[in-house]
Amino acid sequence: MTRLLRSRPRRAGLLLTAVACAAAAATPAVAEPTPVYRDASRPVADRVEDLLSRMSLQDKIGQMTQAEREAADPAAAAEAGIGSILSGGGSAPTPNTAESWADMYDAYQRAALNTPLGIPILYGVDAVHGHNNVHGATIFPHNIGLGAANDPELVERIGRATAEEVAGTGIDWDFAPCLCVARNDRWGRTYESFGETPERPTAMASLVTGLQGSSLDGPASVMATAKHYIGDGGTTGGEDQGNTEIDEAELRAVHLPPFKAAVERGVGSVMISFSSWNGVKMHVHDYLINDVLKGELGFTGLVVSDWQGIDKIDGEEGFTAAEVRDSINAGLDMIMVPYDYQEFMDLLRQEVEAGRVPMSRIDDANRRILTKKFELGLFENPFTDRSFTPTVGSPEHRELARQAVRESQVLLKNEGGVLPLPKDSGKIFVAGKNADDIGNQSGGWTISWQGESGPITPGTTILEGIRQAVAPGTEVTYDRDGNGIDSSYSAAIAVVGETPYAEGEGDRPEGMGLDEEDRATLAKLQESGVPVIVVMVSGRPLDIAAELPNWDALVAAWLPGTEGAGVADVLFGDHEPTGTLPMTWMVSADQQPINEGDGKSPLFPYGYGLTY
């Protein structure tokens, strides 16, 4: 209201004893009433209906479209009316800093808000073990290690810490947790699973609560994603994006419980699996999506495709009108296109106008998407809460990650109680390609999609942790290949295993043993006659039964992330080993799949773990 100050005309003789300021409101122009969808005091359902009533078909199709940031900058995204943006693995702004991410996010929101209806975007990333695309972020152990820790409360705290780092860069949607039940360790995504039975993935759905908080519009809350629905971990041969050939009873008993738990925790989104169930692609599985997920489980959030997931329906490159139509009609609400978004929007419009996708389906998808945008508070608080930006890679989060590393270590062999090592051991020899390599100990989905060896982000290597743990007088020698080892050393620690990979790149249809380099390093250490302690840094159990007799101790460290000191905490006894196997450990690769209760004889059974 504009106040005009007017002084009264003086009248002769009549002197106003006090100048009365007449604050007179300017005659108010007839102000537009605030649209219901912009009124935060109104119920979300009312806001959704009001907004929907103002949207064109094109607006609605835009909300169902998710594009990769590299395909659509803020102006292009706003111009096209795209409702969601993502960063695929490793897709980061330059420089790759938390502030730069926040600036990028805010630019997309600013552009979106400048459109006629001003609908904010959703921005999704794979923060699957911390905010792993961001340089300097805390990298937590991958899920297989958290499954070994078997501590749902810890996992919830990790979710909260991850949410703070994600929110500190503006991002409002996390494509996590993967609730897959990995049945065949040949699968390249075994390390994304909390366990081979539904028990631990169901319990670790607590990550959803950590990420989303008590309400989606709470401080640092981000929308979680239960993925990949359903049966991605059960494919024949452990083939990534393969075919899960089991009956419905087994699908329901083994793969459904973690999603049920996530829905009960209010998970905001579900991502569909690339895989098939008995030959039918999940991306067009009307029964499992519409009837089971949305019907039986009562999931009211949004269902998103995987990356180019609809392209893969017919097995040909690219997507067709039929693939667009069939996936949307099967219950997908948003399509992670991610590049040819205009083509997708045109085809979907064509299918709606031809009556092959009912308007009711379009409206249902929009209701689900818009409900999440309102619940996240994006209309009221569309920009980054910069108070959380300093949490990225913070000492507190790194300490939490170190605790998770400690709890995830599984002691599988300890001949003669060689562990814990005394801190004043005199001379300790450390060897192996994974001893002094942040990239190797973090695994895939770290800074880049596939991850990579080397000092890719700040952290503490396992070797650095060992150096920090020993007493001042203890000499720690490192040689990657074991050169220089001799009987003067009190013990040799060999940190071996796998180098980074993600998804199908990590499938191991052939051998699952150690590589040549590791075997040569171990042989050199064994020749010295010094006790050999093996620390296995890998995304799965490996085929090592033949070598095990030559080792005095074996610790499964999994993929610990940036806080490698947590491994030394266990090796030197500051923390008793408490981890237990989330996956059965095979005697040999030809036993795969090998799982609890299948009657096969493993090297170490599911749930096995020693302590001191």
Q: Where are the beta strands (DSSP E) in 316-378?
A: 335-336
Residue 64 carries which DSSP code? Answer: T
Q: Which is nearer to ligand GLC, 126 or 437 (CB)?
A: 126
The CB-of-338 to ligand GLC minimum distance in angstroms stands at: 8
Smallest distance from ligand GLC to CB 271, Å: 6
Residue among 507, 517, 538, 534 at smallest CA distance from 441: 538
Sheet of 243-244, strand order: 243-244, 276-277, 280-281
DSSP 3-state assignment of 491?
strand
Q: CA-to-CA distance for 375 and 212, rounded, in angstroms?
A: 11
Question: How far apart are the C-alpha atoms of 502 and 22, rounded to whole Å?
Answer: 72
Specify whether the CB–CB gap between 490 and 427 falls below 8 A: yes
Active-site residue, from 306, 326, 518, 543: 306
Contact 475, 427 (CB under 8 A): yes
Beta strand ranges found along 49-166 (DSSP E): 65-68, 84-87, 122-125
User: Shortest gap between Cβ of 259 and ligand GLC (angstroms)?
Assistant: 15
Tokens standing for residue 140: 């937590």
User: Which amino acid type is present at position 84?
Assistant: S
How far, in Å, CA of 521 to CA of 431, rounded?
Answer: 7
φ, ψ for residue 441 (rounded to 5)?
-80, -10
Helix intervals (H) in 86-180: 98-113, 143-149, 152-167
Buried b / exposed e along 35-60 (16+ C-beta atoms within 10 A): ebbeeeebeeeebbeebbeebeeebb
Q: Where are the alpha helices (DSSP H) in 409-461?
A: 438-442
d(CA 344, CA 252): 33
Which DSSP letter does residue 215 get?
S
Q: Which residue, 504 or 609, has its beta carbon nearer to ligand GLC?
A: 504
Query: Site residues (CB under 6 A) for ligand GLC?
Result: 88-89, 126, 175, 227, 306-307
Chain centre to alpha carbon of residue 279: 27
* CA distances to 248, 287, 605 from 278, in Å: 10, 13, 29
Q: How far is the CB of 3 from ligand GLC (least distance, A)?
A: 54
Residue 174 bears catalytic tag:
no
With beta carbons less than 8 A apart as the criterion, state whether 64 and 362 touch: yes
Q: How far is the CB of 76 from ligand GLC (least distance, A)?
A: 20
Residues making up the chain, counted from first to last:
612
Min dist. Cβ of residue 366 to ligand GLC (A): 22
CB of 68 to ligand GLC, least distance (A): 9
The answer for residues whose C-beta is within 8 angstroms of residue 30's C-beta and 6 or more apart is: none
DSSP 445: S
Please tell me what DSSP assigns to residue 33.
P
Task: Using the minimum distance from each CB to ligand GLC, give the nearer residue, 77 or 493.
Answer: 77
Nearest CB to ligand GLC, comparing residues 175 and 319: 175
How far apart, in whole angstroms, are the C-alpha atoms of residue 338 and residue 333? 15
Contacts of residue 336, defined as CB under 8 A and 6 or more positions apart, other chains included, come to 66, 86, 304, 305, 306, 307, 308, 309
Looking at the annotation, which residues are catalytic? 306
